[in-house]
Structure 1
Amino acid sequence: MVIMEESQPERLSCLAVCAGAGGLALGLEQAGFEPVLLLDNRPVACETLRLNRPDWKVLETDLLDFDPLDHQMVYDVDLLAAGLPRVKASAAVKREDSTEELRLLEATIMLMHAVRPRALLIENLPELATKPAFDPIRTTVAAELEHLGYRHRWFVLNAMHHGVPQDRKHGILVALKGDAMDGFVEPAPETAPPITVGEALGTSMAARGWPHATAWAAQADRVAPTLVGGSWKRGGADLGLTGSKRAWARMRVNGGTVADEVPGPDFPWDASLGVKEMTPLTVEQTARLQGFPADWAFAGGKTARYRQVGQASPPPVSRALGLAIRTALGRPTDPEHR
């Protein structure tokens, strides 16, 4: 009897800019996209990419300095994907790096002229897709894409509806050539209830013999607030602003710092103790809350590793978007996504 091997889904090509720690590229890889090139301007992020995927071609450069003429393998890729720094509307927020963030968005759109991908995916803050303050930016993007023959759509996804134990909203831009946009369907929320912090981290909390890990996990019965990586220019590693820290405290987590290791046998469990006596999370635990697999390593010291985690695109969200784009391009991975 001849045994037929199961056919593998066709691998599509991808250029990933502002690749960071690889969350966007990893999710797209799981959806069947093979990166021909990844670029980021931070040495530690490039080190993380090479550490996890030695075969990936990684270029350490600023997107504003990138010239496709020097890397012609990026021409005519199936997908141009960008996990850009969060753009702020100048009318709403005045910050010294806001102009640079806007320039990176513009540079990604202008890169379309040379690369001419079949599809474009940009992930950013949810307000970029919906708020009136960003109307001028969306209008400029729409005009440029229309000029190039692409149709596009802005929408918002919440990571908690796609297997990520975190309330994290993403503004998404998808553009496809011509009529291909008619076949694009936004990823539908999963039917299963969102994963809670306790479910995601209970096992790791018990790894060093903390006797209260089960009790801690039982009361951490909700999704995490949005992890915030913070600025590379200032501050240490913590889990977010005041509101986020209060939400963490309700789960008996100290959101004001990041731990070197999970609690040991002697770590206290006393509801009367203050925030500083609550257990902080490790970088590895925050990575689980972003949907990274346990074997994905991050280069650098603790603060640099947490910055990469907090600013990453959750891989499960990227995978869902990648599958939706594959289907619109006529390359579904299996009957479920046809």
Structure 2
Amino acid sequence: MSTTTPEYDEDYSGEELCNLDPNPVEVITQTYIHSFICAFGLIGNVLVIVTYIFYKRTKTMTDVYLYNVAVADLIFVVTLPFIIYNEQHSWLMGSVVCKILRSAYSINLYSGMLLLACISGDRYVAIVQARRSFGARSRTLLYSRLICSAIWVFTVALTLPTLLYTERFEEHSLLDQTTNVMCQLSFSETETAKLMKVVVPSLQMAIGFLLPLLVMVFCYSSIVCTLLRAKSSQRHKAVRVIMAVVVVFIVCHLPYNVTLLNHTLSLFKERSCEAEKIKLQVLAISRSIAYFHCCLNPVLYAFIGVKFRSHFQQIMLDLWCFSKKYIYTARSSRTTSDICISGRMSSDGSNNMMSFSA
């Protein structure tokens, strides 16, 4: 399986051509890993979206951001199986699909990371600036939707270079007389290639990692200080949640961005074939770790909240009741219906204590 950023195809040292294709073991391993990411990412993000549409509704700015994060992650996990299939079958779906699939990760990266930064900002305002923001909550939903719309437009603009310059093409190897069909950034002019091969990864690192990281560190550090001063039985749990959010973000995205930075800095330098193979392997592994973040977002930002968990339990109860309706007799259905109603009343009527992620 070729890497998602194999557009870096510069010349290497040595007289013989360098074969950078991954070995079969790497292909199989990445296929299983990406299939796992796709399955769990699909389940988690679909549950978040269903919960917001049919149960919880979007009542706060964080709700709007979380819903859009789930949509961004869902876009990527839906396209991931098609990426796997095409990489293993010479991009049979053609050039248009090649462009769309390669752009999917950029869309998920920029929109998802910027939305996570917005969530940290909203929590900062709600907790640290609580007194100032108390009187302005009636207009927050409109503001959050406008912010999300602006982020999606900005994301599409940042993805345009990938969409415009990604091409499906054939590469003929004189070394073993084979033809490889690839879907990569391709340029007709040298100057454009030099510019884009620096601009695209630089934007990914700056806007897709560094900017959200700085915002999250500032906001969550301020929140932790505020919570530690407050006399609340829930403060330690809230601090642990914040630490988990930041640590998972760094663990998932820092290795890929460090590797991408190292790769970008060496783009126009002569390097050995073996060193390049190792670098691409590390890039592929770290990128898979970054992909895994889309599976963890529903857990860190949604299911960890008390109120969200109660709505999720209601979904499970309704699914159970729905299945029982078509399995049991009329008498059993009547009993099951009573259980469902009482469960819904208990869920709606419970006075759950609001947690940090609620």
Identify the structure with the greater helix proportion. 2
Larger Rg: 2
User: TM-score, length-normalised on structure 1?
Assistant: 0.23
Structure having greater relative contact order (Cα 8 Å, sep ≥ 6): 2
Larger fraction in strand: 1
